[in-house]
Amino acid sequence: MNATQYSPKNIQQTRARLGEGPCWHQDEQLLYWLDIYNHRVHQFNPATAAHQFFDVGEVVGCIAPAGTNRLIMAQRNRLAFLDTSNGKVTPILTIEDNQADTRCNDGKCDAAGRFWFGSMSTNGPKGCLYRYDPNGSLHVLETGLTISNGLGWSPDNKTFYLTDSPLKTIYAFNFDFESGSISNRQVFIDLTAESFYPDGLTVDSEGCIWSAMWDGWCIIRFDSSGQEMMRVKIPVQRPTSCTFGNADLMTLFITTASVGLSEAEIQNSFYSGDLFSLPSTISGLPTYHFTG
């Protein structure tokens, strides 16, 4: 397998400011994704190209399925449910409401149905990593992060991955599936020599990590030891995240951003903010639901 096998297709021209957080809902066969700064949760049907969005009233950093017609969201400083049958937002709890310079960012559920999400800071290493359990308990798992970002688990549920974007680092932790705890943080992928930044990621069925590179015009696939395997070129400057979807989990859906680009950069990266797809020869892992 090599990068020349992959040709990205523009499947939804939305020109999002900060497209992010793609999430495949296997039961509904729908892709959900975000435009963070426009407060939108998008719903896209790859089979029909049908599209709608929900205005959730404020910044939304990440989502995960939480049953039929329901998503759990980490918004600016709270968790909430979104009913996708009517657009109703139901708050759950507040997070970091006394910190004006932080907000919730990327997240997803583990195989036990626990919702993991991080926060980011515009003023130093104040970000945290959280785990919200189905019993309603909230746990702080990591502190001192700048932008808690792309996260995922190895197929055997023994390793947890977490990105700190400004540090250009993807960490690996030992993961205890039963307790939901992490330990022994180590640098897994060091990108400090690059001009771009690792953003959202997904893990495939072979245990390889696909990381979207902000300002890098590419997605990079790393093997389970952290070695780069290939770079897939994307026709926009700021790919932000990716996830596998469709019934066979063999299509990579990629979100992108236009925020912060100059007019000249937008001309060179005309489809920034759109949604892309890539057919893959490798399947992804299932998207897990919040079970609370």
Q: Are strands 181-190 and 197-203 parallel, antiparallel or unpaired?
A: unpaired
The H or E element spanning position 140 is strand 138-145
Question: Encoding tokens for residue 177?
Answer: 């599936």
- Residues 271, 260: Cα–Cα separation, whole Å: 14
β pairing state of 228-233 and 239-245: unpaired
Q: Which amino acid is at 281?
A: T
Q: How far apart are CA 18 and CA 31, in angstroms?
A: 17
Rounded-to-integer distance, Cα 119 and Cα 126, Å: 8
Rg over alpha carbons for the chain, rounded to the nearest Å, is 17
d(CA 13, CA 177): 39
Instruction: Work out the number of other CB atoms within 10 angstroms of the CB of residue 137.
Output: 10
Collapse the DSSP code of 24 into the 3-class scheme (helix H, G, I; strand E, B; otherwise coil) and give the result. Answer: strand
The three-state secondary structure class of 268 is: helix
From the list 35, 199, 204, 274, the catalytic residue is: 199
Q: Tell me the C-alpha distance between 269 and 277, whole Å.
A: 17
Q: Specify whether 199 is catalytic.
A: yes
Strands ordered across the beta sheet of 228-233: 197-203, 209-214, 218-222, 228-233
Half-sphere exposure of 243 (CA within 13 A, CB side): 29
Report d(CA 46, CA 235) in Å as an integer. 20
Question: Catalytic site residues?
Answer: 199
